[in-house]
């Protein structure tokens, strides 16, 4: 495995591989790797000839007062995990190289997909994500890029960006990887104190309850949401940012649940913000 920080070196390396006919699979991350990231890497390894991982804690997607400075980082550990997952190239750029002085070209996906849910809670977040992913695509020039359904709205936005912008990249959506007790894996889980970690199980519990209600024939979104809300609010340190049932493609809110319904939620537990989601006709 080769670690590259320099943008031009990375771009030239990838261009040479592409010209030589190698199929490049790309997994962009912010590092502090866990099993969720590794599942993307394993699938990328299977589908591509060359597996590229990027680790970049992207300042442009963090708002003022968010956890940019405290975001967990451990390059040495990540390098070891990446090597054992079969990564060929690890791209680890510095923020000052991605956003040099005078940088002023941002990319925004407009409309409902980015205005609702995370977009409403974190102004500018998706603009930061779209900008960095577009830049990474230009640098890495991947044939395919893998993203987790954990960040459901991000994935929907990036699919839109690739369609609208004619990026020659296949987007591969991967299932949410959970801890044994159901908590969705996240680099941010390390922030949770023991009692908060226990309370965080309410997220998966309320998604499972919603899926059970739907399996039993309930279609009234308001009733499903009311039950989920009650379950979340039974935890003393948990505050709901949003809890909605939306159409999986448009993210339009739905009053009546059908096969296209996804429940999405964001909560704060103490200082930690967690997101999770579930497609309601699937088992959790």
Q: Which residues are catalytic?
A: 37
- The answer to the question of residue 14 lying near ligand AMP (CB under 6 A) is no
Question: Is the CB of 13 or the CB of 150 nearer to ligand AMP?
Answer: 150
Number of residues assigned to the chain: 284
Nearest residue to 154 via CA among 261, 44, 264: 264
- The answer to the question of residue 148 lying near ligand AMP (CB under 6 A) is yes
Please state the closest distance from residue 148 (CB atom) to ligand AMP, in A: 2
- The answer to the question of residue 186 lying near ligand AMP (CB under 6 A) is yes
- The answer to the question of residue 176 lying near ligand AMP (CB under 6 A) is yes
Write the interaction track for ligand AMP spanning residues 97-136; mark x where CB under 6 A is met and - where it is not: ----------------------------------------
Residue 166 exposed, middle or buried by CB count within 10 Å (0-12, 13-18, 19+): exposed
Question: Is the CB of 29 or the CB of 225 nearer to ligand AMP?
Answer: 29
Q: For ligand AMP, which stretch binds (CB under 6 A), given 164-172, 181-189, 194-202, 220-228?
A: 181-189
DSSP string for residues in the chain = -EEE--HHHHHHHHHHHHHTTPPEEEEEE-SS--HHHHHHHHHHHHH-SEEEEEE---GGGPPTTSSTTTS---HHHHHHHHHHTT-SEEE---HHHHS-TT--------SHHHHSTHHHHSTTHHHHHHHHHHHHHHHH--SEEEEEGGGHHHHHHHHHHHHHHT-S-EEEEEPPPB-TTSPBP-GGGGG--HHHHHHTHHHHHHHHHHHHHHHTT--BHHHHHHHHHHHHHTSTTEEEEEEEEEETTT--B-SB--TTEEEEEEEEETTEEEEEEEETTS--
- The answer to the question of residue 93 lying near ligand AMP (CB under 6 A) is no
- The answer to the question of residue 56 lying near ligand AMP (CB under 6 A) is no
Assigned token pair, 103: 């940088």
Region of 215 (left: φ > 0; alpha: ψ -120 to 50; beta: rest) is: alpha
Write the interaction track for ligand AMP spanning residues 205-244; mark x where CB under 6 A is met and - where it is not: ----------------------------------------
Q: For ligand AMP, which stretch binds (CB under 6 A), given 110-118, 176-184, 238-246, 271-279?
A: 176-184
- The answer to the question of residue 44 lying near ligand AMP (CB under 6 A) is no
- The answer to the question of residue 29 lying near ligand AMP (CB under 6 A) is yes
Nearest residue to ligand AMP on Cβ basis? 148
Q: Contacting ligand AMP (CB under 6 A), which of 10, 14, 25, 30?
A: 30
- The answer to the question of residue 57 lying near ligand AMP (CB under 6 A) is no
- The answer to the question of residue 40 lying near ligand AMP (CB under 6 A) is yes
- The answer to the question of residue 36 lying near ligand AMP (CB under 6 A) is yes
Question: Is the CB of 55 or the CB of 257 nearer to ligand AMP?
Answer: 55
- The answer to the question of residue 143 lying near ligand AMP (CB under 6 A) is no
- The answer to the question of residue 177 lying near ligand AMP (CB under 6 A) is yes
Assigned token pair, 25: 């699979």
To 10 degrees, the CA torsion angle through 265, 266, 269, 272?
Answer: 140
Q: Could you list the residues that contact ligand AMP (CB under 6 A)? A: 29-30, 36-37, 39-40, 147-148, 150-151, 174, 176-177, 184-187
């Amino acid at each position: 495995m080769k670690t590259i920080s320099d943008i031009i070196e990375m771009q030239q390396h990838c261009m040479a591989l592409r010209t030589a006919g190698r199929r490049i699979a790309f997994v962009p991350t912010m590092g502090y790797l866990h099993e969720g990231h590794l599942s993307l890497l394993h699938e990328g390894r299977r589908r591509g000839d060359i597996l590229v991982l990027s680790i970049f804690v992207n300042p442009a997607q963090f708002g003022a007062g968010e956890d940019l400075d405290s975001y967990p980082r451990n390059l040495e550990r990540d390098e070891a995990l990446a090597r054992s997952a079969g990564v060929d190239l690890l791209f680890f750029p510095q923020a000052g190289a991605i956003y040099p002085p005078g940088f002023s070209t941002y990319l925004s996906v407009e409309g409902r997909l980015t205005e609702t849910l995370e977009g409403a809670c974190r102004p500018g977040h998706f603009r930061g994500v779209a900008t960095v992913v577009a830049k990474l695509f230009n640098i890495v020039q991947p044939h395919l890029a893998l993203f987790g359904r954990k960040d459901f709205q991000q994935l929907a936005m990036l699919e839109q960006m690739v369609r609208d912008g004619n990026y020659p990249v296949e987007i591969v959506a991967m299932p949410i990887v959970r801890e044994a007790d159901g908590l969705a894996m996240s680099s941010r889980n390390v922030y949770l104190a023991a009692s908060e970690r226990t309370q965080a199980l309410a997220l998966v519990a309320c998604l499972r309850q919603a899926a059970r209600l739907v399996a039993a024939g309930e279609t009234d979104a308001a009733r499903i949401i009311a039950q989920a809300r009650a379950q979340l609010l039974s935890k003393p340190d948990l505050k709901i940012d949003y809890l909605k049932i939306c159409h999986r493609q448009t993210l339009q809110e739905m009053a009546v649940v059908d096969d296209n319904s996804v429940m999405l939620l964001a909560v704060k537990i103490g200082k930690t913000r967690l997101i999770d989601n579930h497609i309601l006709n699937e088992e959790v």
